[in-house]
Structure 1
Amino acid sequence: MNPIDELARLFAEEGTRDYFGEPVSQAAHMLQAAALAVRDGAPEPLVAAALLHDIGHFHGLVRGADLMRGTDNRHGDTGADWLARWFDDAVCEPVRLHVDAKRYLCAVEPEYYDRLSDASRYTLSVQGGPMTEAEAAAFADGPYADDAVRLRRWDEAAKEPGAGVPPFEWYRPLLERRLLRDGE
């Protein structure tokens, strides 16, 4: 199956499920994050990452619902690893790091924690809590840290019921341009 068709299917099927204590579906959440990235003039790889950042909730042995029951599903890693079959690091690494970016922001901007939804605060506790000073410094020095932080801010803001955003198909041409070609 074409990878974009597979992603479209996931958005249309699994994506319609509740988003773990948030007032929107998983697909609506990811579409809102991508729309915020577009609004802010993000480059295409980061728009794609925003659109696909929670795809890891759909794959792996531990699903998103398990996260809400106290088991870290490592959905950033799971999603990035799954997406790496088709996309380069500029798309996959912000996906991988978006949970670490939440932990980082809570460590370096204490007021960021206050802006988290109740569900996001709960998952933060399951995902390791705010980073230590040493962890935050190491994260900030890493590649894709800035992109992951930008993605994280859109992630937290993308929980508005009824927000008018483009559908998945609007992003198809962008995703097709980002696909790895044979030999890359």
Structure 2
Amino acid sequence: MSMTKSETLSAETIVDFLAEIFERRGGEEYLGEPVTMAEHMLQGAHFAEQAGEPEIIIVATLLHDIGHFTSEFGTFSMDDVEDRHHEEAGAQVLEPFFPTLVTDCVRYHVAAKRYLCAARPEYLGKLSEASIHSLNLQGGPMNDGEVLAFELNQNCPAIIRVRTYDDAGKEAGLTTQPFSYYAPMVQRIVDAHCSGMAGQGRSA
């Protein structure tokens, strides 16, 4: 399935589509880290849930890297010399079905890394080799203007929280729940958003 597949998706099929991606491609290597792609995203969701986050943050964390599978440019590797823009690819697939908070956490989780490297210099020292490599491809730490623009996003605090769980999801051998555990949670977020959009349409 590719990005163009999103044109035929619906609120009733998007969760199955995402489950299929996790099943079919989740075993792929995650950017030179000691976990697979699925393990990384499931670990992030696990840590968000353990921290008592609301479902919308857990779901945003679970799906933050889905663009590695839906980007027309393919997945990242340590041999890359240019960025593949997976964050935008993921957000584009999700935005017909998820609220802006979720899609902003997906779209700007790379920007959050760049922001944190600029705003909290100690953060850069905590990044893995693979994350530093991708950071260099993604533009490096933000400049002052970019920092100010990022902070204007009303979802900035949530985006940073998701980034924190993103960074944590790299533990080899950690046991987590499968995607099926989170599927009802994902569906609730989709249903609430799509019901709200339908209501707005009727009242317009």
State whether TM-score is above 0.5.
Answer: yes
Could you tell me how far apart the structure 1 residues matched to 2:137 and 2:61 are? 22
Q: 1:20, 1:68 within 8 Å by CA — same for their partners in 2?
A: no
How far 1:111 moved relative to its partner?
0.8
Deviation larger for 51-60 or 132-141: 132-141
Q: How does 1:4-43 map to 2 (within 5 A)?
A: 4-43=15-54
Deviations along 1:57-115, one digit per CA (max 9) or x if unpaired, are 11122122367512211111110110112211121111111000000000011110111
Runs of at least 4 residues off by over 4 Å: none
2:92 to 81, 99, 111: 81
Task: Tell me whether 1:105 sits opposite 2:116 in the alignment.
Answer: yes
Task: Tell me whether 1:122 sits opposite 2:105 in the alignment.
Answer: no
Could you tell me how far apart the structure 2 residues matched to 1:42 and 1:153 are? 12
How far 1:165 moved relative to its partner?
1.1
Structure 1, gaps ≥5 residues long: none
Q: Which amino acid aligns with 1:86?
A: F
Structure 2, gaps ≥5 residues long: 1-8, 200-204
Report sequence identity in percent: 41
Task: Tell me whether 1:50 sits opposite 2:66 in the alignment.
Answer: no
Q: Which amino acid aligns with 1:54?
A: D
| Higher alpha-carbon Rg | 2
**What's the TM-score, normalizing by structure 1?**
0.95
Could you tell me how far apart the structure 1 residues matched to 2:43 and 2:20 are? 18
For the residue of structure 2 that corresponds to 1:160, the secondary structure is: coil
**What's the TM-score, normalizing by structure 2?**
0.86
Q: 2:47, 2:165 within 8 Å by CA — same for their partners in 1?
A: yes
Task: Tell me whether 1:153 sits opposite 2:164 in the alignment.
Answer: yes
Could you tell me how far apart the structure 2 residues matched to 1:121 and 1:66 are? 13
Q: Which amino acid aligns with 1:3?
A: I
